[in-house]
């Protein structure tokens, strides 16, 4: 993660409509960029991640730069008790959250069966179960209030199976399908549910997951670029935002190909660039 004391000041998103946002996975990468941009726009924050030290440092930076209220809520979303605490905060009517950003998530590089099954289960708990439960808590409160937004971070991996990342692609496909369904259910009730699908983004994700990606420079985006696209999309009430022209081309193309061809091409890309 960049040194929070020297990180460049973010630019506020185009629409600063949110009073208070809760961001999971806020200690690094896309979640950190989203938190900074929201703070710059004057949005009060609740920051959630496992690393209390990182959250404390980020919270102090945002307070000093933007003067907004920032709560720190350390939690491992794979732990049911910790998830329950975050869930209760999302549902709190006294200090309402009007934007939920479900950014926490991770994946592993390697064939299914090579890692302990407990690791695969934790991936599902964070990428799927935690996202679903927090979205549920948010939607119940927001639809009653008649306003709010949910930004669920998926991936371009949601559009195709990927050998070597089977569980990750499957969990992100869930996020994409689930979020679009809920989007249709609640959009007439004043609530926007948006799925953000970034491709290769310069964060700690690749190192943590053991991915050694050797892809052309133009295929990469910064966390700030992805964060801005997601915040703009949920402010507009858009259902799905695929970031980057190259990712849009891929997402559109795979829908028109036979599934066998998608699997073959996905495997070739994985073997070529990892």
Provide the 3-class DSSP secondary structure of residue 100. strand
Kindly write down the DSSP assignment for every residue of 73-97, as one continuous string: EE--TTSHHHHHHHHHHHH-SSS--
- Nearest one of 1, 9, 16, 2 to 232, comparing CA atoms: 16
- Nearest one of 78, 92, 124 to 22, comparing CA atoms: 92
Catalytic residue among 106, 168, 174, 211: 168
The length of the chain in residues reads: 274
Angle at 246 between CA 245 and CA 251, to 5 degrees: 95
In angstroms, what CA-CA distances link 212 with 51, 105, 272, 273?
24, 18, 11, 8
Mark whether 168 is an active-site residue: yes
In angstroms, what CA-CA distances link 226 with 59, 172, 191, 196, 199?
21, 16, 22, 8, 9
Cα first-last separation, the chain:
22
Contact 171, 105 (CB under 8 A): yes
Measure the CA dihedral 175/176/182/186, to 10°: 120
d(CA 246, CA 231): 20
Active site residues: 168
């Amino acid at each position: 993660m960049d040194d929070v004391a020297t990180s460049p000041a973010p630019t506020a998103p185009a629409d600063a409509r949110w009073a208070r946002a809760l961001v999971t996975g806020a200690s690094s990468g896309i979640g950190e960029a989203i938190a900074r941009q929201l703070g710059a726009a004057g949005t009060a924050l609740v920051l959630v991640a496992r690393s209390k030290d990182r959250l404390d440092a980020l919270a102090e930076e945002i307070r000093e730069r933007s003067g907004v209220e920032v709560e720190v809520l350390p939690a491992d979303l794979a732990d049911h008790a910790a998830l329950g605490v975050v869930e209760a905060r999302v549902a709190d009517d006294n200090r309402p959250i009007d934007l939920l950003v479900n950014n926490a998530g991770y994946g592993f590089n390697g064939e299914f069966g090579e890692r302990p099954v407990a690791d695969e289960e934790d991936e599902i708990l964070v990428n799927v179960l935690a996202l679903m439960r927090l979205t549920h808590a948010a939607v119940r409160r927001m639809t009653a209030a008649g306003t709010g937004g949910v930004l669920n971070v998926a991936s371009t991996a949601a559009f195709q199976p990927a050998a070597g990342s089977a569980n990750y692609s499957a969990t992100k496909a869930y996020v994409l399908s689930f979020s679009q369904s809920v989007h249709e259910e609640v959009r007439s009730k004043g609530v926007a549910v948006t799925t953000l699908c970034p491709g290769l983004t310069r964060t700690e994700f690749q190192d943590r997951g053991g991915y050694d990606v050797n892809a052309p420079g133009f295929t990469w985006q910064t966390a700030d670029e992805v964060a801005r696209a997601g915040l703009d999309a949920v402010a507009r009430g858009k259902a799905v935002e695929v970031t980057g022209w190259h990712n849009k081309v891929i997402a559109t193309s795979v829908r028109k190909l036979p599934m066998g061809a998608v699997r073959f091409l996905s495997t070739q890309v994985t073997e070529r660039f990892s």
